[in-house]
Amino acid sequence: MIYNIHHLHCGSFCPVCAPLFGQKGWKAHLVCHCLLIETDRGLVLIDTGLGTQDYLHTEQRLGSLLTQLGSIVPNLKLSAIEQIRKLGLRPEDVQHIFVTHLDFDHAGGISDFPNATVHVLASEFNATQSLSAKGKLRYKTEQFKQHRHWNFAEHTDGEAWFNLQKVQGLPFFQDEILMVPLLGHTLGHSGIAIKKQDGWIFFCGDAYFSHLELDPKNKLRALDLTERLLAEDNQQRLHNLKRLQYLAQHEPSIELICAHDPVEFNRYQ
């Protein structure tokens, strides 16, 4: 049973050339939007943002290129573990972590919760085991390679959920938390759907970067270029974006949010 949902800001980036991220001006402002869910099975994190070690040893963990180009704001208080403490909750009560994918800005906090079970698509974890040049930039395996507790889901199994397929729930969450394959940005990218009393929150990770993308009438060419360059399978990415646009236009019971849009994050503050 789900009791409460908190929206956490677990990282700030200020890269140059804001239009590349669907924003106006020179410097973009990107957040690492994560969710903390209070359940009868303990605390559940949806993505982790940057973790303690990422903030304490940024260049060592992430590399100088990402640190400089991303203009990562060095604020340890943004780590999920610190924000959980600030809420008056116990970090050791985090029993489960669902990650949309294992990019450095989504998986950095895994090492702060060594006893939690991390749920991820198997194809995503497999992609971190043999890295291409792009893979070495996006995946920083030091963040999670020592973690012991994993649950790997197969994106070939599951049921339909609205207009999406191969969706899986976990029985001990009574299907109130669902893993929804949204392949494209990475080979094992997924969204996480969370049941509320009056509908759903659908956390889409990096399946899109700006709320403006949910309206197909908006043409964001610079952002499309960024997403195309980051994508492992751009055709899959575009296919899933169209399905998310349909949900945004036709399913008012679903709140769609992505990981990096400050406008969406501010709606919950």
Looking at the DSSP bridge assignments, the partners of residue 117 are: 96
Domain count of the fold of the chain:
1
pLDDT of residue 109: 98
pLDDT digits (tens, 9 = 90+) for 92-130: 999 999 999 999 999 999 999 999 999 999 999 999 998
pLDDT digits (tens, 9 = 90+) for 212-238: 999 999 999 999 999 999 999 999 999
At residue 134 the predicted structure's pLDDT band, cuts being 50, 70 and 90, is confident
Q: Which residue matches tokens 């020179």?
A: 26
* 155, pLDDT greater than 80: no
* 140, pLDDT greater than 80: yes
Considering all CA atoms of the chain, what is the largest pairwise distance in Å, rounded to the nearest integer? 47
Spatial separation of the C-alpha atoms in residues 182 and 192, rounded to whole Å: 10
pLDDT of residue 251: 97
- CA distances for 235 relative to 9, 44, 222, angstroms: 30, 32, 17
At residue 245 the predicted structure's pLDDT band, cuts being 50, 70 and 90, is very high
Identity at 26, one-letter amino acid code: W
Spatial separation of the C-alpha atoms in residues 257 and 206, rounded to whole Å: 10
Domain that holds residue 221: 2-266
Report the percentage of the chain scoring pLDDT > 70.
Answer: 100
Whole-model pTM: value is 0.96
- CA distances for 124 relative to 120, 151, 152, 153, 262, angstroms: 7, 12, 9, 10, 26
CATH number of the domain that 156 lies in?
3.60.15.10
pLDDT of residue 133: 84
Contact 137, 116 (CB under 8 A): no
Where are the strands (E) in the chain, listed by range?
Answer: 2-13, 30-39, 42-46, 94-98, 117-121, 150-153, 159-161, 164-169, 177-181, 190-196, 199-203, 254-257
pLDDT of residue 157: 79
